[in-house]
Structure 1
Amino acid sequence: MIVSTERLKESAAKLNRMSEAASRSPRRAPVERQRDPERTKVLLLEAAKAEFGAKGYAAARVSEIAAKAGVNKQLISYYFGGKEGLYNALTATMYGDYAAVADHEKPFAEVVRFFARSGVRDHDLAKLFLWENLTDGAPDAIGVEGQREFLQRQVEYVRARQAAGDFPADLDPAFLLVIFMAASSAALALPRIVRAVSGQDPQSAEFAEAYGEQLARLVGHLADSP
Structure 2
Amino acid sequence: MAPAPPKEPGAPKRTRNSARTKAAILASGREEFAARGFEGARVDAIADRAGANKRLLYHYFGNKEELYRAVLLDAYQEIRRGERALSLDQYDPAQAMDRLVRFTFRHFLANPWFPRLLGTENIENARFLKTMPDIKALHSPLVGQIAAIIERGNSAGIFRRDVDPVQLYISIAALGFFYVSNTATLSVIFERDLTSMAMVQEREAHAVQMVLDYLKTREG
TM above 0.5, yes or no, is yes
The correspondence for 2:69, drawn from 74, 88, 91, is: 88
User: Any idea what SS the aligned residue of 2:163 has?
Assistant: coil
How far did residue 154 of structure 1 move?
3.0
1:131 maps to amino acid:
T
In the alignment, the residues of structure 1 paired with residue 211 and residue 174 of structure 2 have an alpha-carbon distance, to the nearest angstrom, of 14
In the alignment, the residues of structure 1 paired with residue 72 and residue 198 of structure 2 have an alpha-carbon distance, to the nearest angstrom, of 27
Q: Which residue of structure 1 aligns with residue 57 of structure 2?
A: 76
Q: Which residue of structure 1 aligns with residue 97 of structure 2?
A: 108
Q: Which residue of structure 2 aligns with residue 199 of structure 1?
A: 192
TM-score by length of 2: 0.72
In the alignment, the residues of structure 2 paired with residue 208 and residue 95 of structure 1 have an alpha-carbon distance, to the nearest angstrom, of 24
Judged with a 3 Å threshold, the aligned counterparts in structure 2 of structure 1 residues 90 and 207 are, in CA distance, closer, same or farther, namely farther
- Say whether the 8 Å CA contact 1:47–1:68 is kept in structure 2: yes
The correspondence for 2:41, drawn from 60, 82, 93, is: 60
Q: Which residue of structure 2 aligns with residue 16 of structure 1?
A: none
Structure with more relative contact order (C-alpha pairs < 8 Å, separation 6 or more): 1
The correspondence for 1:130, drawn from 102, 113, 119, is: 119
Rg comparison, structure with higher value: 2
Gaps of 5+ in 2: 1-13
- Say whether the 8 Å CA contact 1:121–1:208 is kept in structure 2: no
> Which moved further from structure 2: 83-92 or 178-187?
83-92
- Say whether the 8 Å CA contact 1:52–1:60 is kept in structure 2: yes
RMSD between aligned residues: 2.7
How far did residue 147 of structure 1 move?
4.2
- Say whether the 8 Å CA contact 2:159–2:217 is kept in structure 1: yes
In the alignment, the residues of structure 2 paired with residue 177 and residue 75 of structure 1 have an alpha-carbon distance, to the nearest angstrom, of 38
User: Any idea what SS the aligned residue of 1:43 has?
Assistant: helix
Judged with a 3 Å threshold, the aligned counterparts in structure 2 of structure 1 residues 102 and 61 are, in CA distance, closer, same or farther, namely same
The correspondence for 2:129, drawn from 125, 135, 143, is: 143
How far did residue 185 of structure 1 move?
0.7
TM-score by length of 1: 0.71
Gaps of 5+ in 1: 1-32
